[in-house]
Chains A and B, each alone.
Chain A
């Protein structure tokens, strides 16, 4: 077995015991990338020279015994919407095709300070808008379990890289399911922390009331470990919350006895792949067998979540993406006057889905429609949040499927944007409410494609979410399976 297949916590122990050097590990990961990336296309940009130098520096620190973080010497992948100083940061968009980030965002700064090795930047749906990675302006990423299938999105590159052992772990962003849904599709663990838990400084803004950064890893322990390293308040992000970072990994005791698990009846409706339903139900029974109590609950406004999301998210996106005007950075069309330059630069720079969302958002915010769409959506959003508040008076976590189906075929949903939006049905409410949730593997369908289990927690209760996930993981071995690449 190649050392690229190690989990973060395993690799960290090997490095600290000096049984493996960061340079060897990094070289093994780059070999794995060279062997498999032609089939997977997880990376947009590789930073091999810089990574080798970082690995060398990490080895020197390890030799001196300066071990301040379990990330020291660990090769990680970063989604290409995180600013990385001196490295191309494209958001998989032509409009930022040549953009070199002038500074590191907070998460990247924390990873660097911890001594992690940054392998490169992973593919995504353009500006994180999509559920399949097919909206990348460069190329679609493919699912390592079956390369005719999508890896999910928008953090599809990070998910595929983790599943294919093209990194030890990765970071992604989640606005409507963009960490959890690709994690489910690729059979890995993806955590969306509470809104405000991780700084967003230096990630490219999409929908600011929902965007959140989170870990994408090979198991739950790695998720806890990586969250500890990136969570916490940040003076550069006024929405980050000043709450202590819990030692998440120390709270993983494999115990679920006495915990109350809510099962929302609205999440088990027609349209779900039968194998997904049976795998998720089986996971619930296993948790029950281990001592948790199951209770059927109701989140009555679930059916409105997608409509709310695609108003709020597109409205915020249309505003956030107004900055791409071709003036200070990014693509500028050669055109006549100023307005013409704006319009042509944006026409040439943005892809179809981004244009569609800018149009939808601009429409929802425009004079005469603001009350009927945006304000109405924010009122229904308050009801969605209220549903969760009610349920969390009785339950510790909510357990659901992550996505209604396993990974679909490349090209299957590209002609029908609404069908694509509906794939986010189980993840979106969580972003609207701002809650933490994790997706972890809970089985495979008959095609051999992974199925995801979602665990949703109360505000800032990542520890409970991870504890339940870890307890489930301890009783199963889905997370240990590797794609036949």
Chain B
């Protein structure tokens, strides 16, 4: 038992830390930036509290020993879906451009990307 748990020691330690963890404001801000979401200070505070509660609920998964269980990959049979390398969709350039927030002729205008 001791030997089989050994390789997972860092993981177990990390879990012990996580059990006592409270989501910090900095973490909420870091995740919001990763998701490219701007949050108001009120939203940040609310999300910190709500996500903390949800994550605490999810800690129940750590009660389960899943060593030796392969992660789930796909619900049903999987096989390669090959097809001929041919364009089959109708060209709908005008319809697509009609949804662009800003455009110039057949170009979609975007903010400057390279400084």
Contact = CB atoms under 8 A, between A and B. Distances in A.
Interface of A: 85-86, 98-100, 102-103, 194-196, 209-210, 235, 238, 241-242, 301, 303-304, 306-308, 310-311, 318, 322, 325-332, 335-339, 341-344, 346-347, 350, 352, 355-356, 358-360, 362-363, 366, 371-373, 375-383, 385, 417-418, 421, 432-434, 459-460
Contacts of A318: 35
Contact of B72 (A242, A355, A379): A379
A241 B77 contact: yes
Nearest to B30: A366
Interface in B41-74: 43, 47, 50-51, 53-55, 57-58, 60-62, 64, 66, 69-74
B47 A356 contact: yes
B5 interface: no
A322 B36 CA distance: 8
Interface of B: 11, 14-15, 18, 27-28, 30-39, 43, 47, 50-51, 53-55, 57-58, 60-62, 64, 66, 69-77, 79, 81, 83, 88-90, 92, 95-96, 98-102, 108, 110-113
Contacts of A85: 95
A102 B110 contact: no
A446 B33 CA distance: 49
Contacts of B89: 103
Contacts of A373: 58
A372 B59 CA distance: 10
B108 A328 contact: yes
Given A329-B96, A372-B15, A432-B72, 10 more contacts: A85-B95, A98-B99, A307-B58, A310-B54, A327-B110, A328-B96, A363-B51, A378-B72, A379-B71, A382-B70
B74 A359 contact: no
A381 B98 CA distance: 42
Contacts of B71: 375, 378-379, 381-382
A359 B72 contact: no
Contact of B54 (A100, A210, A325, A418): A418
20 contacts: A102-B98, A194-B76, A196-B75, A209-B75, A210-B75, A235-B83, A322-B36, A337-B111, A343-B33, A343-B36, A346-B36, A355-B43, A356-B51, A359-B31, A359-B35, A359-B47, A380-B69, A383-B66, A418-B53, A460-B76
Contacts of B30: 366
Contacts of A383: 64, 66, 69
Contact of A379 (B14, B39, B66): B66
B99 A100 contact: yes
A362 B31 contact: yes
B51 A327 contact: no
A380 B66 contact: yes
Contact of A330 (B61, B98, B101): B101
B95 A355 contact: no
A238 to B, nearest CB: 4
Contacts of B62: 376
A362 B34 contact: yes
A235 B37 contact: no
B99 A99 contact: yes
A376 to B, nearest CB: 5
Contacts of B18: 372
B92 A326 contact: no
Nearest to A368: B14
Contacts of A366: 30-31, 34
B112 A238 contact: no
A328 B99 contact: yes
Contacts of B47: 355-356, 359
A308 B36 contact: no
A307 B61 contact: yes
Contacts of A102: 92, 95-96, 98-99
